[in-house]
Amino acid sequence: MGRVALVGCGCGTVDLLTRKACALIRKADCILYDHLIDPYVLGFAQDRCHLVFVGKESGNHAFSQEQINAMLVELSEKYSLVVRLKGGDPYVFGRGSEEAKVLYEHGIGFEVVPGVSSCIAGLSYAGIPVTERETARGFRVYTAHSKDGKLPDLDFEELARTSDTVVFLMGRKNLPRIVEGYQKAKAPDLPIALVSNAARPEQASCIGKLSTILALAEKGNYPAPTLIVVGRTVEAAPVLNWYERLPLFDKKILYMHGSDRSDLLQPLSNLGATVDAPAAFEKIVYDIGKVDLLEYDWLVLTSPTAVDLFMEHMKKRHLDVRLLPRIAVVQEQSAKKLAAYGLFADLVGDRDAGRLVALLNEKIDLFSRVLIPHAAANVEAFKELKCPADIRILYEMKECKWDPAYEYYDAGLFTSARAARDALRHSVQARLAISIGPKTTAVLKKGKFKQIIEVSKPDLQEMIECLKGSINHV
């Protein structure tokens, strides 16, 4: 019989996942997950892991709680480690205690991994301190949702008198009843906030008073899941709401990437963007066969991926790095990747493979021997090389099936001409397109973009800085 881990995923995005939660997800043989889980959390799971959606929304339950309890017992007999993934914390209105008791009754070993609850993290992302020495020395957390959809029985007379911050979870539909409860208890006109999709890129905050919040909420779009916060600490939100002031907050960004690399995803998310990051390309790796490094005067590596794969080839073939000839790379990104292996390029091209060939021709002669472990695409760039080249196909990128998440984007970041062509094939539209170089720009000009900006140097960080500086001026 296996064991079960009841794991809290925290509030909002994958960024609030704890290290222990991540470790268990990586080891899990089977995962039962809720509907509020960030999809990227499941990306940590093994390929062979059996995933089961058991999400519950108001009025729409994939499985009843009793069925989920039975599944946990049944699956623990089949798998060594079953992880039950919950949004927030398992014990904060997550019914984790019910599941744990069932496991105990059946003699199944279990552990509970706390998660960062929305009653703390959601407030923090909205700029609302859950406690504050001058205004609130404590806080209270209630569910505003019951099985029949009505507001649970709450003592509003007591809530009207307390100076504690009061947090209601799962309460969007019952906001009018909460306001009515306070007003009937003759509460002062307290500050109140409605926080939708807390700690997610689509977060939206509505700040008001008991007398104004219903009208304000009616004017905007504040879908569930929502937090309702009542108390004087809400007044700090205009000053402390750091999240909604991030430079890319509320911006929809398209970033297509290979299945093996997503370098820009985390930086974009850290800046508050809503990132549509489809794995549009899959890397297919080939065996380049036996290589006698002593036969060559130069080794040319044209991408960070080529650097990684060639170093992996050397490791598998037990080739000593001291046998390497002089090394040429395309762009600083490849040079940095090479440096991570303790190797430093003798020649760094400043644009593309064509430019590198021109620089390399200045250093070689007709009798030089050059090894180029290269991607299947764009081998034509080496036809202008002064000497014959030994081009070995190291990998190729094949298109994956994907669909745009949005009809229109604020911006798209395009790190290759291949990505640009695929975006045009999907009729992607955006206000702004950031291009990594001339070939990519040439493709983008055929598409539906209000403005195209090509970065001054082909560098991913340069693309981020360009996006930050340009997105609000298009």
Write out 159-188 in H/E/C secondary structure.
HHHCCCEEEEECCHHHHHHHHHHHHHCCCC
- Residue pair 6/112 in contact by the 8 Å Cβ criterion: yes
Strand, helix or coil at 321? helix
**Cα–Cα distance measured from residue 70 to residue 77, given in angstroms and rounded to the nearest whole number:** 11
**Cα–Cα distance measured from residue 89 to residue 214, given in angstroms and rounded to the nearest whole number:** 29
For the residues of 189-217, what is the DSSP string, one character each? --EEEEEESTTSTT-EEEEEETTTHHHHH
Please check whether residues 73 and 220 belong to one and the same domain: no
Last residue within a domain, chosen from 346, 380, 398: 398
Last residue within a domain, chosen from 116, 148, 173: 116
What values do phi and psi take at 365, rounded to 5? -130, -175
Q: What is the CATH number of the domain that holds 137?
A: 3.30.950.10
Q: What is the CATH number of the domain that holds 393?
A: 3.40.50.10090
pLDDT of residue 60: 59
| Residue with token string 């099936």 | 401
Please check whether residues 26 and 131 belong to one and the same domain: no
Please check whether residues 274 and 410 belong to one and the same domain: yes
Q: What is the CATH number of the domain that holds 35?
A: 3.40.1010.10
Please check whether residues 392 and 413 belong to one and the same domain: no
Please check whether residues 238 and 126 belong to one and the same domain: yes
**Cα–Cα distance measured from residue 457 to residue 348, given in angstroms and rounded to the nearest whole number:** 13
The domain containing residue 95 runs over which residues?
3-116
Contacts by residues 451-460 (CB-CB < 8 Å, ≥ 24 positions apart): 457/332, 457/350, 458/331, 458/333, 458/351, 458/352, 459/331, 459/332, 459/333, 460/263, 460/264, 460/333, 460/415
Nearby residues of 29 by Cβ (< 8 Å), 6 or more positions away: 2, 46, 48, 49, 50, 79, 80, 81, 82
Please identify every residue annotated as catalytic.
34, 56
- For the chain, the domain total comes to 4
pLDDT of residue 176: 95
Residue 49 CA: distances (Å) to CA of 25, 41, 111, 274, 347: 9, 13, 19, 28, 44
pLDDT of residue 58: 60
Angle, helices 304-316 vs 331-339, to 10°: value is: 30
Please check whether residues 388 and 451 belong to one and the same domain: no
196-237: per-residue pLDDT in tens? 999 998 899 999 999 999 999 999 999 989 999 999 999 999
Please check whether residues 315 and 451 belong to one and the same domain: no
pLDDT of residue 57: 64
**Cα–Cα distance measured from residue 255 to residue 407, given in angstroms and rounded to the nearest whole number:** 14
- Residue pair 309/395 in contact by the 8 Å Cβ criterion: yes
CB-CB neighbours of 405 under 10 Å: 13
**Cα–Cα distance measured from residue 335 to residue 147, given in angstroms and rounded to the nearest whole number:** 59
Last residue within a domain, chosen from 349, 366, 398: 398
Q: What is the pLDDT along the chain (474 residues), one digit of tens a residue?
A: 899 999 999 998 888 999 999 999 999 999 999 988 888 899 899 989 999 999 876 655 678 999 999 999 999 999 999 999 999 999 999 999 999 999 999 999 999 999 999 999 999 999 999 999 999 999 999 998 776 667 888 999 999 999 999 999 988 899 999 999 999 999 999 999 999 999 998 899 999 999 999 999 999 999 989 999 999 999 999 999 999 999 999 999 999 998 777 889 889 999 999 999 998 988 899 999 999 999 999 999 988 999 999 999 999 999 999 999 999 998 888 999 999 999 999 999 877 777 888 888 998 888 999 999 988 887 777 888 989 889 999 999 888 999 999 999 999 999 989 899 999 999 999 999 999 989 899 999 999 999 999 999 888 899 999 999 999 887
Please check whether residues 421 and 272 belong to one and the same domain: yes
**Cα–Cα distance measured from residue 352 to residue 331, given in angstroms and rounded to the nearest whole number:** 7
Please check whether residues 12 and 150 belong to one and the same domain: no
**Cα–Cα distance measured from residue 405 to residue 150, given in angstroms and rounded to the nearest whole number:** 35
Token digits for 400? 């994956």
